[in-house]
Amino acid sequence: MDAPSHAGVRGEVVLLTDHSSREGSGAVLATAIEALTGHPPALLDARHFMTDSGAVRVDGGRLGFEMPDENRTVAPSVVIIYEIPPTRRRAFEGFQGLLRRHGVRSLGTDTQAWRAATEKDITVEVFAREGIPHMQTIGLTRPTPQEACSAFNRLGGNVWARPNVGMGGNDVFHITTRTRLLEASRYYAETEQNWLISRDAENFDSTGRRHQFRVVVLNGQILRVCEHIQADDDAPCNEGQGAVSTELSADELPAELAQLAVSATKALGLPFAGVDLVPESGGVVFEVNVHPTIAPGNSLATVAIPYVAAHLAAR
């Protein structure tokens, strides 16, 4: 968190992140902001705007963010929002609505789009409506053993279970037996999570390892492509779960997958997203991430700077 400043300081570019996050995307974005504007951003903790500790006022038609515990007020013209945990996004919607109503420049104020990407049952509904190919999925809320088994059998007895709202590949299970299915069902019940099961995409590369692509999209353009390889057949193809990530050039991604990534992002109403997808099963999207991790290194030039530039150019 940045050091407290004197009251009345006005920062035109605000970087709003959850300061409890250890992800690191915020630091890369701060570097990008300073590179493009010549000044460091005002760093505000998004958690203040999910509670009563952060006050918002309107002065002459312009929003101001009051931070009493840090003894400062910031009046932004641009707000860049990142690293908001999926489980906290509904609590953040009121603040996003204020930004939108007062015309603050930001790519992160569309609460409907955020919900559609964050809550996977809504994602599935949107994909079905908009014709975005995805693996057959069934949502489950406190199912009886019979209901869970019926859904499992309908999907062929080889499925992936995941929470309706989650991140990092946590609380995800590969299920091929009734015993494992009931274990997962009990786990979700104990943790009070709604969940979904999806038919396995059989996404194996030529060496028999799981793989998927993460494609970062901004305003219909491909910014970055990575391939994730997972040696553990039962683990999610996620770096946080042990997958190895290799950056590819955009032209190494098949054109049909590039278009699918753009279409999935557009279908959900997001200007920017990270799309997880594979060519197997005819080419399918697994999910769309509102805030894909922006790691130090090449992501500064390929993702962070274009993302910040899009905010600065927005009207």
pLDDT attached to residue 69: 63
pLDDT attached to residue 10: 39
Residue 198: CA atoms inside 13 Å, Cβ hemisphere, count? 22
Query: What DSSP element (H or E) covers 187?
Result: helix 178-190
- Rounded CA-CA distance 265/290 in Å is 9
pLDDT attached to residue 11: 46
pLDDT attached to residue 5: 35
pLDDT attached to residue 3: 34
pLDDT attached to residue 102: 87
pLDDT attached to residue 76: 86
For 140-183, how does the pLDDT look when each residue is reduced to its tens digit (9 = 90+)? 999 999 999 999 999 999 999 999 999 989 999 999 999 999 99
Written as one letter, the residue type at 111 is T
Give pTM, 2 decimals: 0.92
Average pLDDT by stretches of 10, the chain with 315 residues: 34 87 94 95 89 70 73 85 96 92 92 98 98 98 96 98 94 97 97 97 96 98 97 94 95 96 98 98 98 93 97 84
Buried b or exposed e, range 285-311, using 16+ CB within 10 angstroms: bbbbbbbbbbbeeebbebbbbbbbebb
Strands 62-67 and 72-74: antiparallel
Ramachandran angles phi, psi of 107, nearest 5°: -95, 5
**Could you tell me which residues come within 8 angstroms of residue 103 by beta carbon, excluding any fewer than 6 positions away?**
none
Long-range contacts of 256-261 (CB under 8 A, 24+ apart): 256/283, 257/213, 257/215, 257/283, 258/215, 258/222, 260/132, 260/133, 260/285, 261/215, 261/217, 261/222, 261/285
pLDDT attached to residue 68: 60
SS3 108: coil
Q: Is residue 100 within 8 Å of 113, Cβ to Cβ?
A: no
Q: Is residue 211 within 8 Å of 238, Cβ to Cβ?
A: no
